[in-house]
Structure 1
Amino acid sequence: MSNLNHTRTHYSVIVVGGGQAGLSVSYYLKQLKLDHLVFEKNSLMHGWKAERWDSFTLVTPNWQCNLPGHPYDGDDPKGFMTRDETIAYLNTFASKLNAPVREGVAVNKVETDANGVYHVSTSDGDYTADQVVVASGGYHIPVIPRMAERLPESVFQMHSAQYKSAAQLPEGAVLVVGSGQSGAQIAEDLHLAGRKVFLATGDAPRVSRFYRGKDVVEWLDDMGYYKISVNEHPLGKNVRNNTNHYVTGRDGGRDIDLRKFAQEGMELYGLMTDYDGEYLVFLPNLTQNLDKADATLNNINARIDAWIEQQGIETEEGPSVYTPSWTPEQERTQLNLAESGITSILWCIGFRPDFGWLDAAVFNGQGHPKHDRGVTNQPGLYFIGLPWLHTWGSGRFTSVGQDAEHLSEHIAAYQRRVKATSEEAVPA
């Protein structure tokens, strides 16, 4: 990687964010010989180093790791890289690329002047650019509900972004709030560590890890699912609001079955809505949440069955439908906090975006940017690395490079127009 000194202040392109998305853009800008600078307020790949727990693994198989010029080349393509292996993969990518990066420099403000030039105010001075690429992702502010303020000080609280292992938490039971991808995996991690776990579920769907002899990801890839654009998806752009399916790559990969955890002693509840000073309060929707997750799993498997039949594929396993191994005897809507033995609460309910530093009329009412495959309606402003920017893989290692290449072509075309306009303005 290349950490540059502050020797110039204007660039054709400034990229905000030094993760895999920002560096993928840099890869193609270097190929196009476009001068640019990448700002990263922490260190390269900071999110992967700081916000992943010790037992974390990718939930997508290694063969899907295909950053520009850096496909996975290890000896376990159908396996799932651990946290440390993922960081090593990303560090190698950064080293090979040697991007023009300023690490430890925060972007505080981006705005445009009357001529459409971008003014970028940073913690290390002011810069200008013809174009700006926002590659800082969409997961900025950890979501912790206001009810957390009313919980007793004796209860330790932490967001999933801070979690590393059960050893961080005081002795006693743990309440995990949220059953999305992080919540389900962290609940499993604590469960396997021997902790008493209470899990407040949500409406996250789940998916089989393996089905009919192959990883479900392989089947979906064969079926062309990962090539479907957001504009072609049945849900359209609403698919961007979907919660990720919970599954794990741990120990070679397996399903996450919350019903199985319940049989082993984990206590499951519906959506947590309040704390009244004595009781934690939940909606009576645990059964609904579990049934909905299982229905999604069965629906995906049924689509795979149809594909197998349509293509005449021979497999050793026949179609199967998941049937519940455990169902709640009753819906419990209250839990006495003091009597439960809960000493820690882990909030696994996601993040919200924070683009307050970007002065541009490109955001919807929820603070999310409006764009067409990363291209906004403001000339010279782009986004990359967001979920379903274009396809399912846009926010993942599998397709972020394709999005980067697409944006770089737009950037190059725009830069040619900037140059032509500048030359026309110069008197003969």
Structure 2
Amino acid sequence: MTDLNQTALQKGADRALENIEIDTLVVGAGQAGVAMSEHLTKLGVPHLVLERNRIAEAWRTGRWDSLVANGPAWHDRFPSLEFEGLDPDAFASKEQVAAYFEAYAKQFNAPIRTGVEVKKVARNTDRPGFTIETSEGVIQANRVVAATGPFQRPVIPPIAPKDDSITQIHSAQYFNPQQLPEGAVLVVGAGSSGVQIADELQRAGKNVYLSVGAHDRPPRAYRNRDFCWWLGVLGLWDAEAAQPGKEHVTIAVSGARGGHTVDFRGLAHQGVTLVGLTKAFNDGVVTFQADLAENIARGDENYLSLLDAADAYIARNGLDLPEEPEARATYPNPDCVTNPILELDLAKAGITSIIWATGYSVDYSWLKVNAFDESGKPKHQRGVSGEPGVYFLGLPWLSRRGSTFIWGVWHDAKHIADHIATQRKYLAYRDASQRRAKD
């Protein structure tokens, strides 16, 4: 078995992986894996990052063509590198985000191997650590960090109709309006992805129906500060647990076209037909919950509560920020809200496509360890698993509300790297004491 140190890993990036032994294996080279590698490098922990595709692949091919980051460039980044050639208040394109992570990894010569899939991780029974089966060979590691994030398996709910005459795709497979057939589109899901896709399709000339469920709707900016800034100074990014009943509530926010506040009434006046939560499909007819007005009203409550909190913060701290009374102005309720559609014949409405903007689930089928609860969810405390030597990174609410954001995952990675370094010190002490006993 070859025990490689960090220098050997970096110099031997193209060598076969068979019979390599490493202290820490990081699985995934998205924002979580790159952040993890930086902190492990700073602490001198020998490690290897394996990525089955390319660095930040999800940003390259798992998003639609016009996507930009939902946070401004000054906010959605790691601490020691700014986006090159981009105004701090602008929103990076998906290509710029992918290039950013590549550049960041090069800063510290991250030991990342791309094009290598981790197929199985299992704890050793006769010695410490784990045996890892990869597409390039079998390796050994003392610790494993699952940095694959929350967006692993696109979820289409079981209510989806079994109808070959309708094109159905998840938002992960949507790239641009041109890929859809002629006809109207039903977009199911009104978080950031669903809202932006519906808006893009309507602007491209499509007749669009948008199914709106429960959501939070922050202002894009208020009183000359982006909502990311407001959530920061108000301490909301650091909230350690979701409010009861809001664990799965989506956030409707957009950086598209320079950034704007999502306004569902505005979308309706623009030409998008709003409907409630999608309930069922039966014989070519889709039914919706009678909850559209309630969902929009609760989104308004979330929006106004942040404006109120911002106003109070400004007054409390004596800040000289311009008032913005127009931020509280709203469109009148459109007809689709006051007289909601509860049933829709797909053929009569001309709907030929359904886009399911219904989120993702995790996939840890490759991780054969005792680190999951009865429902298959990871058991951890701030990413430190109950299974010694196994760590999770990039998951929602890993330590705080901001854990899935670029800057948030960087801070979570630091905590996990510190934990790994501490464990290594304990083991080093044990080994030294054993050597002294022999002497």
For the aligned pair, the TM-score class normalised by the smaller chain equals over 0.9
- Say whether residues 1:302 and 2:314 are aligned partners: no
Aligned residue for 1:326? 333
Secondary structure in 2 matching 1:290 = helix
| Contact 1:17–1:136 (Cα < 8 Å) also in 2 | yes
Q: Which moved more, 1:318-327 or 1:14-23?
A: 318-327
Q: Quick one: distance in 2 between partners of 1:244 and 1:381?
A: 29
Q: Which moved more, 1:311-320 or 1:109-118?
A: 311-320
User: 226, 235, 252: which is aligned to 2:243?
Assistant: 235
The CA deviation at 1:219 is: 2.4
| CA gap 1:356/1:31 in 2 versus in 1, 3 angstroms | same
| Contact 1:4–1:101 (Cα < 8 Å) also in 2 | no
Secondary structure in 2 matching 1:57 = coil
Which amino acid letter does the alignment assign opposite residue 6 of structure 1?
A
Q: Quick one: distance in 1 between partners of 2:97 and 2:297?
A: 33
The CA deviation at 1:101 is: 1.9
- Say whether residues 1:104 and 2:115 are aligned partners: yes
Q: How many residues align?
A: 422
Aligned residue for 1:357? 366
- Say whether residues 1:383 and 2:395 are aligned partners: no
Q: Quick one: distance in 2 between partners of 1:357 and 1:379?
A: 17
Aligned residue for 2:169? 158
Unaligned runs of at least 5 residues, structure 2: 1-9
Aligned residue for 1:311? 317
Deviation by residue 1:365-411 (Cα, 9 ceiling, x = unmatched):
44321222111122111111112222233211222222222211111
User: 111, 125, 128: which is aligned to 2:137?
Assistant: 125
| Contact 2:167–2:352 (Cα < 8 Å) also in 1 | yes
Q: Quick one: distance in 2 between partners of 1:359 and 1:37?
A: 19
Aligned residue for 2:7? none
Aligned residue for 1:408? 417
Aligned residue for 1:46? 57
| Contact 1:271–1:285 (Cα < 8 Å) also in 2 | yes
The CA deviation at 1:209 is: 0.8
Deviation by residue 1:158-179 (Cα, 9 ceiling, x = unmatched):
1101111101111111110110
Q: Quick one: distance in 2 between partners of 1:415 and 1:289?
A: 50
Deviation by residue 1:6-34 (Cα, 9 ceiling, x = unmatched):
25421100011111111111112222222
Q: Quick one: distance in 1 between partners of 2:79 and 2:39?
A: 8
The two structures, once aligned, show a CA RMSD in angstroms of 2.2
Aligned residue for 1:196? 207
| Contact 1:21–1:135 (Cα < 8 Å) also in 2 | yes
Secondary structure in 2 matching 1:64 = coil
The 5 A counterparts of 1:75-94 are 75-94=86-105
Which amino acid letter does the alignment assign opposite residue 408 of structure 2?
S
The CA deviation at 1:104 is: 1.4
Q: Which moved more, 1:334-343 or 1:317-326?
A: 317-326
Secondary structure in 1 matching 2:38 = helix
| Contact 2:403–2:409 (Cα < 8 Å) also in 1 | yes
| Contact 2:120–2:368 (Cα < 8 Å) also in 1 | yes
The CA deviation at 1:91 is: 2.2
Secondary structure in 2 matching 1:398 = helix
Q: Which moved more, 1:201-210 or 1:313-322?
A: 313-322
Aligned residue for 1:5? 15
Aligned residue for 1:370? 379
Which amino acid letter does the alignment assign opposite residue 332 of structure 1?
I
The CA deviation at 1:75 is: 4.5
Secondary structure in 1 matching 2:384 = coil
TM-score, L = length of structure 1: 0.92
Which amino acid letter does the alignment assign opposite residue 273 of structure 1?
K
Runs of 4+ in 1 over 6 A off after TM superposition: none
